[in-house]
Structure 1
Amino acid sequence: MPARPSYTVVLGMGKTGLACVNFLVKKQVPVRVMDNRPAPPGLATLQRTLSQIPYTIGHFDAAQLAQATEIIISPGLSRQEPALALALARSVPIISEIELFARYQNAPVVAITGSNGKSSVTTLLGEMAKQAGWRVQVGGNLGTPALELLCTPAPDIYILELSSFQLESTYSLNPLAAVVLNISQDHQDRYADISEYITAKQRIFQGDGVVVINADEPSVVAMLPPHRKYLSFSLYDNRGDFRYCQYRGELYLARAKKNSPNPFLLKEVTQAQIKKPFISFLSKKIKAFSFRAGKNVRPRKGEVDLLLPTKSMKLQGVMMRANALAALALGDVIGLPTQAMLEAVQAFRGLPHRCAWIANSLSIDWFNDSKGTNVGATIAAIESLEKPGQIILIAGGAAKGMPDFTPLAVVVARHCRACVLIGRDARLIANVLTNLVPVYYAPTLDDAVKQAAVLGNPFDAVLLSPACASFDMFKNYEHRGWVFEEAVKLVTTPIPHCLATGIR
């Protein structure tokens, strides 16, 4: 009987797939590449730089997959691909790029996931480490693939943003510190229900490192593994190792003193609750944040160290404060000096397409949150502007699966004067918001910007935060954000009100 061929198959010819191929070639591992797209984005690069590598495009070869020694699956592909059925039946290992990285990592790892904010926290923690003089490599789902970060000499720390897609097929990663920032409905086109999504996110806590949890999110609290060291963060003043509080009229980021009582005060979450859509917790939580922010809370004497007045941060808003607290907790775990962390928080200007201030035109502030591709992200962006009744929201696009837009209602009613909707699934959002605020439809994003300019008053804010994916109208969320920014540049003179057309 002829010997079984020995080769690894990389599924997907995008940025992650090519990183895997390059890495395996350097390790002298026989490799083949497959992509079911007829013209995958990495094909030209593969043909130019790795012409010796066999590849298949336009379909997946199930027979070759079933004969493989191992399959490395790109995050955009599901393990439920029909072509993988035979390979799974034959117990062919299917792993992620992150699993391959874990086998070769030469320095400790901090792993960061969550529905929203993970890119900002990853970047901010990287800036903290640099401020402290550490040699750091930052990437993963954000920017550079993890395998391309591996270097000699080893850095002091790897800081990785990880998506649920990457975590699905990761088994041996053992982070020094790991965090799930939050959970809201997302990727319902990939997962049968939110419990599957939560299960994928929870894989970040494998290993024996320190767990950092959001004490305000029951869904995240329920993920806490037994008998593990953990730190928590909270936007309430009475819980969390790192927390947000008000003292003598000023808002602060604060840290519980080491000898203070355990500040983690959430009740145990039942399995029945875990199976419910946790987006409902998010809308309730944000309502509570808004209420507490108006109170002059005095921390109990000796309970906390006040770290930084939030007015000294370049980025304001609820979401940024939560991100800063999460990064401070992670930095504390890995031993970063407090002063270096606080200097990084003060200097941090945020990331493109993430609630980024673009311009003041017509006495209106314009914000680009094109990365807000789910309901939770849009809720957080609206709240972060802290302009109740003065926001014109631009939303819409391609809904992921069958999302529930209902939680938008209470936040939009409280903070928005009007909404301008675009994209394939605009009507799904309109069905929730109609009768709460004036709702308008625009055929293009350029038209939406013009309509928002008509509707806005001086000192208002126009926020692009779609709560949907971009692929119905744009290449990706970055493309959508760039189109928005270019359209805003053209808004320099008042536009006749007759251009605005309401949905009826």
Structure 2
Amino acid sequence: MERWQNINNLVVVGLGITGLSVVQHVTKRYPHVTVRVMDSRDNPPGKDELPSNVALHSGSFNLEWLLNADLVVCNPGIALATPEITAAIQANVPVVGDIELFAWSNSKPVIAITGSNGKSTVTDLTGVLARAAGLNVGVGGNIGVPALDLLDIDADLYVLELSSFQLETTSSLRTRVSAFLNLSEDHMDRYQGMEDYAQAKRRIFTHAEHLLVNRDEPETYPNTDAIQGRLHQGKLHTFGSDANDFGMQISEHETGLLDQGELIVQAQQLKLIGKHNWSNALVACALLKLAGIDYRNSLTALKDYSGLSHRCQVVAQRDSVTWVNDSKATNVASTLAALSGLQLEGKLYLLVGGVGKGADFSDLKPALSSLNVALCCFGKDGQAFLDLHSSAKLYDSMDEVIDLVTPQLKAGDMVMLSPACASFDQFANFMARGDHFTTLAEHYSQNVNE
């Protein structure tokens, strides 16, 4: 409460789900504070849910409001380089985000996760495993529930996915353990380069008791003296594809997930598909251990976890044939991740195609060459995949693919939708595409070998 004593005039920049959560949090807990909202959109989502005593300025940013504020809470989707926000910062008006407000109010342990890829799966799975261990868990942040709404849950632990945008305006978040999973080029319209982007993500380590980084990617390591000093205090931990620390033991036919050399689980016992997802499972176990939670009480839940919807999600299994929905793979990098480390007893029927957006698909060729694969191409740019593998065939639609390949399926085979393309030639979005695949999989899997 002490932080709020001198805050009487608060401005929320950007409405939507996050902005509404800020308004509700402040008006509920600090009735002495006058809250106003601004949004550059003429008709911002959520405006009809604003309390009657909260003023809204829409269609632009109100500089006068910003300069007269005691505190500005900025939506992560709005860059700090926006001229009106920059002017407020230069006038010494404090500018924070919703995660900073969460940090001011929270007294429970926090596990925080950032990275360019996989952070949603790691966040969700960590929550699943913590619940299986008997804890009341609040999961949210950049995924699902806004962080401030989680404070209404009687939780033993919070698990937060945090984007670089959220971390830019966060300085007080204390965590039991923070993880930086990986770094790949993204959001270059907002950052001055990869190092600038990485530095925003490294803010997750500022007040972390334990740090978890990817030893295969040096960019994920802390780079300030104050934080690097924790390396010598046993507070910095790593995960990776070798057998050290939290790691993997990879052989021709199986992969073991390891904790300090001890087997956690064989990857082949998991429903999760692909080396990147096995790494996600390893990280989730590491996060629990570093937070003082015995993940071995949650191994059944780990084995049963089939992933987030549309992300290498096992949607059907029968007669040793596995059906995988990876519709979220709308670019080449995502499909490559799905294929990495894939170990099959039979053939992979890989469904690719859609709207390619001018992408170069040639990077898929080496990965496909090492697999027993039937490349099933469909959609507007399906023909662009035909030169990638000798098995490639062009189909009119996903329905035609499934209709024609199902009679060929044998035990050990896998049917995977990982299209490396956008969906809007034949579907409303990647979710609709994935849902349609799931419906087909559930129907046709019942007919395999009958």
TM-score bracket relative to the smaller structure: 0.7 to 0.9
The Cα of 1:319 is off from its aligned counterpart by: 2.1
Q: Say if 2:354 and 2:426, in contact at 8 Å, map to a contact too.
A: no
Q: Say if 1:174 and 1:207, in contact at 8 Å, map to a contact too.
A: yes
Q: CA separation in 1, counterparts of 2:367 and 2:138?
A: 38
Q: CA separation in 1, counterparts of 2:167 and 2:420?
A: 23
Aligned to 1:253, which of 253, 257, 263? 257
**1:201 corresponds to 2:206:** no
Alignment of 1:157-172 (within 5 A): 157-172=157-172
The Cα of 1:383 is off from its aligned counterpart by: 2.4
Q: Say if 2:325 and 2:416, in contact at 8 Å, map to a contact too.
A: yes
The Cα of 1:67 is off from its aligned counterpart by: 2.8
Q: CA separation in 1, counterparts of 2:187 and 2:353?
A: 17
Q: Say if 1:396 and 1:468, in contact at 8 Å, map to a contact too.
A: yes
Alignment of 1:241-390 (within 5 A): 241-245=245-249, 251-256=255-260, 304-359=261-316, 366-373=323-330, 375-383=332-340, 385-387=342-344, 390=348
Q: CA separation in 1, counterparts of 2:393 and 2:40?
A: 39
| Structure 1 residue aligned with 2:388 | 436
**1:44 corresponds to 2:44:** no
Amino acid at match of 2:184: S
The Cα of 1:169 is off from its aligned counterpart by: 1.5
Q: Secondary structure at the match of 1:377?
A: helix
Q: Say if 2:115 and 2:180, in contact at 8 Å, map to a contact too.
A: yes
Q: Secondary structure at the match of 2:329?
A: coil
Q: Say if 2:347 and 2:414, in contact at 8 Å, map to a contact too.
A: no
Amino acid at match of 2:242: Y
CA deviations over 1:222-249 (Å, ceiling 9, x no partner)? 6584112112122223x2x122225897
Aligned to 2:39, which of 17, 30, 35? 35
The Cα of 1:422 is off from its aligned counterpart by: 5.6
Q: CA separation in 1, counterparts of 2:216 and 2:395?
A: 37
CA deviations over 1:353-401 (Å, ceiling 9, x no partner)? 111133479x9854322333555433221226435973424256586xx
**1:115 corresponds to 2:111:** no
* 1:165–1:414 distance in 2 versus 1, CA, 3 Å: farther
Q: CA separation in 2, counterparts of 1:128 and 1:86?
A: 45
Q: Secondary structure at the match of 1:56?
A: strand
Alignment of 1:122-141 (within 5 A): 122-141=123-142
Q: Say if 1:253 and 1:306, in contact at 8 Å, map to a contact too.
A: yes
CA deviations over 1:330-350 (Å, ceiling 9, x no partner)? 111111124213233223232
Q: Gaps (5+ residues) in structure 1? A: 257-303, 493-504
The Cα of 1:96 is off from its aligned counterpart by: 1.4
Q: Secondary structure at the match of 1:226?
A: helix
| Structure 2 residue aligned with 1:150 | 151
* 1:471–1:435 distance in 2 versus 1, CA, 3 Å: closer
The Cα of 1:413 is off from its aligned counterpart by: 4.7
* 1:483–1:31 distance in 2 versus 1, CA, 3 Å: farther
Q: Gaps (5+ residues) in structure 2? A: 1-6, 446-450
* 1:121–1:184 distance in 2 versus 1, CA, 3 Å: same
The Cα of 1:409 is off from its aligned counterpart by: 4.7
* 1:242–1:68 distance in 2 versus 1, CA, 3 Å: same
Q: Say if 1:371 and 1:477, in contact at 8 Å, map to a contact too.
A: yes
Q: Secondary structure at the match of 2:126?
A: helix
Amino acid at match of 1:458: L
CA deviations over 1:441-464 (Å, ceiling 9, x no partner)? 999xxx355457668863565544
Q: Secondary structure at the match of 2:44?
A: coil
* 1:139–1:491 distance in 2 versus 1, CA, 3 Å: same
* 1:418–1:161 distance in 2 versus 1, CA, 3 Å: same
Q: Secondary structure at the match of 1:112?
A: strand
Q: Say if 1:357 and 1:368, in contact at 8 Å, map to a contact too.
A: yes
Q: How many residues align?
A: 427
Q: Say if 1:470 and 1:480, in contact at 8 Å, map to a contact too.
A: yes
Q: Say if 1:395 and 1:464, in contact at 8 Å, map to a contact too.
A: no
Q: Say if 2:354 and 2:425, in contact at 8 Å, map to a contact too.
A: no
The Cα of 1:160 is off from its aligned counterpart by: 0.7
Amino acid at match of 1:254: L
Aligned to 1:234, which of 240, 243, 247? 240
The Cα of 1:71 is off from its aligned counterpart by: 2.0
Amino acid at match of 1:386: Q
Q: Say if 1:369 and 1:463, in contact at 8 Å, map to a contact too.
A: yes
Q: CA separation in 1, counterparts of 2:211 and 2:8?
A: 38
Amino acid at match of 1:78: A
* 1:255–1:489 distance in 2 versus 1, CA, 3 Å: closer
**1:186 corresponds to 2:186:** yes
The Cα of 1:191 is off from its aligned counterpart by: 3.4
| Structure 1 residue aligned with 2:18 | 16
Amino acid at match of 2:266: P
Q: Say if 1:360 and 1:366, in contact at 8 Å, map to a contact too.
A: yes
Amino acid at match of 1:307: I
| Structure 2 residue aligned with 1:90 | 91
Q: CA separation in 2, counterparts of 1:190 and 1:404?
A: 24
Q: CA separation in 1, counterparts of 2:90 and 2:424?
A: 34
Q: CA separation in 2, counterparts of 1:135 and 1:8?
A: 32
Q: CA separation in 2, counterparts of 1:174 and 1:8?
A: 24
Structure 1 stretch 215-224 or stretch 123-132: which is displaced more?
A: 215-224
Q: CA separation in 1, counterparts of 2:216 and 2:151?
A: 35
Q: CA separation in 2, counterparts of 1:475 and 1:223?
A: 43
Q: Secondary structure at the match of 1:209?
A: strand
* 1:245–1:43 distance in 2 versus 1, CA, 3 Å: same
Q: CA separation in 1, counterparts of 2:152 and 2:351?
A: 44
* 1:64–1:127 distance in 2 versus 1, CA, 3 Å: same
CA deviations over 1:464-499 (Å, ceiling 9, x no partner)? 43556778997765345335545767889xxxxxxx
Q: CA separation in 2, counterparts of 1:23 and 1:146?
A: 10
Equivalent pairs: percent with the same residue?
Answer: 38
**1:410 corresponds to 2:366:** yes
Q: CA separation in 1, counterparts of 2:84 and 2:356?
A: 26
Q: Secondary structure at the match of 1:176?
A: strand
Alignment of 1:96-111 (within 5 A): 96-111=97-112
* 1:76–1:483 distance in 2 versus 1, CA, 3 Å: farther
* 1:405–1:311 distance in 2 versus 1, CA, 3 Å: closer
* 1:166–1:56 distance in 2 versus 1, CA, 3 Å: same
**1:481 corresponds to 2:434:** yes
TM-score of the aligned structures, taking structure 2 as reference length: 0.80
Q: Say if 2:138 and 2:153, in contact at 8 Å, map to a contact too.
A: no
* 1:133–1:488 distance in 2 versus 1, CA, 3 Å: closer
